[in-house]
Structure 1
Amino acid sequence: MDKIILKRMQFYGYHGLLPEENTLGQRFYVDADLHLSLKKAGESDAMEDSVHYGEVYEKIKDIVEKKSFHLIEALAEAIADELFISFELLEACTIHVTKPDPPIPGYYESVAVEIYRERTK
C-alpha cells in the first residue's frame, strides 16, 4: 500500500491525567502515515486523486491544540477518527503521538503511543 507520511508535527496541547498538565500544557509530536493508493494521483497529477497533506495537518492541529484528553491513546484515536471522516480516499492510517516531557520521574527521552486503524466499511 502506498502512503503519505507526515513526520514530527509539533503542537502545544493540554493532555494528561495531572491537573498541571491540563493547566500548563506541553509539547506533543505527531507522526501520521496515511495509507491509500497513490497510483491515480501519480498518473493524473491532480489533487482530487490524493489526500491534501496541508489539510491533514490542520485537522490534526485542531484536535491536538483545541481538545483535551487524559490519555494520549485517546488523542491518537480521535486523530484517526477525524482523518477517516474527512478523507474518503484514506484506507488506513498509523498515528504516532509522542509526549516528550511527561511529569514522571526517571531518565528517558519520551513516551509515545502508536495505533494502526483501517477504514471500516
Structure 2
Amino acid sequence: MDKVFVQGMKFYGYHGAFPEENRLGQRFYADVTLELDTRPAGKSDDLEQTVNYAKVYEAAKEVLEGEPVKLVETLTDRLAHLLLDRFSVIEACVVKVTKPDPPIPGHYDHVAVEIRRERD
C-alpha cells in the first residue's frame, strides 16, 4: 500500500486531566500516515483521486481544537476514525498526537500516542 504523510500539524487545544489544562489550553501536534492506492491519482493527476492535504488538516483541527477530552489517547483515536470516515480512499492510517511540555512532575520534552487503524 502507498503512503501519504502529513506531518507537523500544530494546534492549540484545551485537553487534559488537570483543570488548568482545560482552562489555559496548550499546544498539540499531529502527524498522520495515510495508507491508500495512489496509482489512480498518479495516472490522472486528479486531486479527487487521492487525499486533499488541506482537508486532512481541517479534520485534525476539528478534533484537536474541538471538544475537550482528558486523554491524548482519546484525541488520537477520534482523529483516526474521523479520517477513515471522511476519506473513502484511505485503507488504513497511523496517527500520532504529541503533547509537548506535559504538566507532570519531572522533566519531559513531550508525551505522544501513536495508533494504527484500518477500515473495517
Global fold match (TM > 0.5) = yes
User: Which residue of the partner structure matches residue 12 of structure 1?
Assistant: 12
- TM-aligned CA deviation for residue 36 of structure 1: 0.3
Q: Determine if contact 2:7/2:32 at 8 Å carries over to the other structure.
A: yes
Give distance in 2, aligned partners of 1:119 and 1:78: 14
- Normalising by structure 2, we get a TM-score of 0.97
For normalisation by structure 1, the TM-score amounts to 0.96
- Identity percentage over the alignment? 52
Q: In 1, distance between residues paired with 2:40 and 2:82? A: 24
Cα distance in structure 2, aligned partners of 1:14 and 1:33: 25
Q: Which runs of 5 or more residues in structure 1 are unaligned?
A: none
CA distance in 2, matches of 1:14, 1:101: 14
The Cα offsets for residues 22-51 of structure 1, whole Å up to 9 and x where unpaired, read as 110000010000110101111110111101
Q: Which amino acid aligns with 1:66?
A: G
1:111 matched residue in structure 2? 111
Q: Which stretches in structure 2 are left out of the alignment for 5+ residues?
A: none
Contact residue 101 and residue 108 of structure 2 kept, 8 A: no
Kept after mapping to 1: 8 A contact 2:102/2:108: no
Q: Which residue of 2 aligns with 1:55?
A: 55
- C-alpha displacement of 1:108: 2.3
1:64 corresponds to: 64
Aligned partners of 2:102, 2:79: CA distance in 1, in Å?
20
Correspondence 1:101 to 2:97: no
1:92 maps to amino acid: A
The aligned amino acid for 1:71 is: L
Inter-partner Cα distance in structure 2 for 1:91 and 1:103 = 36
- Cα distance in 2 between the residues matched to 1:57 and 1:90: 15
What's the counterpart of residue 80 of structure 1? 80
RMSD over aligned Cα, in angstroms? 0.7
**Could you tell which deviates more after superposition, 16-25 or 99-108?**
99-108
| Amino acid in the other structure paired with 1:112 | A
Please state how far the C-alpha of 1:81 moved relative to its aligned partner: 1.0
Cα pair 2:31 2:95 within 8 Å, conserved = yes
Mapped pair 1:92 → 2:95 = no
**For residue 35 of structure 1, what is the aligned residue in structure 2?**
35
